[in-house]
Amino acid sequence: MSRSVGDGGTPTEAKVQFRLRISKGEDIAVGPGKVALLEQIGATGSITGAAKALGMSYRRAWLLVDSMNHTFRKPVVETLTGGSHGGGTAVTAIGEEVIRRYRRTESLARKAGAAEIAALLKLLSR
């Protein structure tokens, strides 16, 4: 998540990124890349579509999904077979919860740190 800051006394081009990453052992359970992938799978209905949207290979996207499916208690992505939609890939309820809580954490963090971040931005040269 990044935001351009160009208001009033702050320099243009300054970007603020606030990134949450939760690791378990050697693996990153959830971080900016994995959450973006989940969101794109939800938006496109497929790993292929999500991979394209994010400019990553299908293989890499699949490996990230497979890793998340094992890191969390239940799969975050599921393959739908048959039915009126004739297959496709969907984000599960737990996957939606991961996205929601991750984005909410970022938003709360950004709000909590807003005054300090503004003060830091004022220290930058023009």
Site string for a copy of itself, 65-84 (x = CB under 8 A): -----xxxx-----------
51/76 with CB nearer a copy of itself: 76
Residue 59 in contact with a copy of itself, rule: CB under 8 A = no
Sole window of 41-49, 54-62, 84-92, 105-113 interacting with a copy of itself (rule: CB under 8 A): 105-113
Cα–Cα–Cα angle for 71, 77, 79, rounded to 5 degrees: 135
Residues 2, 108: Cα–Cα separation, whole Å: 15
Using the CB atoms, write b or e for 37-71: b if 16+ within 10 Å: bbbbbbebbbbebbbebbebeeeebeebbeebbeb
The single residue among 9, 16, 54, 65 that binds a copy of itself, judged by CB under 8 A, is 16
Residue 52 in contact with a copy of itself, rule: CB under 8 A = no
- Whose tokens are 């970007």? That residue is 15
Shortest Å, Cβ 88 to a copy of itself:
24
Tokens of 100: 């929601």
- Is residue 87 within 8 A of residue 81, CB to CB? The reply is yes
**Which residues in this chain contact a copy of itself in the complex, by CB under 8 A?**
2, 11, 13-25, 29-30, 70-73, 94, 97-98, 101-102, 104-106, 108-113, 116-117, 119-121, 123-125
